[in-house]
Amino acid sequence: MKRKNITMAALVFWLGLSAVPCAVRAASAEENPLKEEMRLLDGAYKTLIDAIALNNPGIIEGPFQEVLDAKPRTEDALKSGNIKLPKNNDKMLMFESLDEEFHRNVKVLMESSKKGDMKMVEMMAHKLLNGCIHCHGNFRQ
């Protein structure tokens, strides 16, 4: 009986511990739509690398569409001042123009993948990677 109680206590403690990081993660994703969009983008870009390596254009569009769908939430949060860029938050015009260019390239990528034009897909993959590096250099801590 005593042993059972200890086991129960350990279980409750363990469940409690594992629930805490989940709650924290869920909250921060909701509070910062830019980070959420970036995590979607990170996944989409990794899928893109697979698509090129495996010559499988069909898997590209879906994850990038999710990135496009997340953009309005990021824009709202930045406009309302709910979130700030970690670096150079006062250079919002430059951020917006890099962001616009990036999203234009994402759309070209998606169109090329639909046509199965893998040469263009590869070109856009390089352009997009340059976009990640350029924007992070200016606006990420």
Q: How far is the CB of 78 from ligand HEC (least distance, A)?
A: 10
Q: How far is the CB of 72 from ligand HEC (least distance, A)?
A: 15
d(Cα 60, Cα 49) in Å, to the nearest integer?
9
Task: Name which of residues 75 to 114 contact ligand HEC (CB under 6 A).
Answer: 85-86, 95, 98-99, 102
Residue the block writes with tokens 């034009």: 117
Where would I find the H helices in 54-116?
61-79, 92-115
**Chain Cα centroid distance, residue 138:** 18
Which of 33, 34, 63, 64 lies at the binding interface for ligand HEC (CB under 6 A)? 34
d(Cα 14, Cα 17) in Å, to the nearest integer?
5
Residue the block writes with tokens 């830019």: 34
Q: How far is the CB of 22 from ligand HEC (least distance, A)?
A: 16
Residues that bind ligand HEC (CB under 6 A): 32, 34-35, 38-39, 41-42, 45, 85-86, 95, 98-99, 102, 128, 131-132, 135-136, 139-140
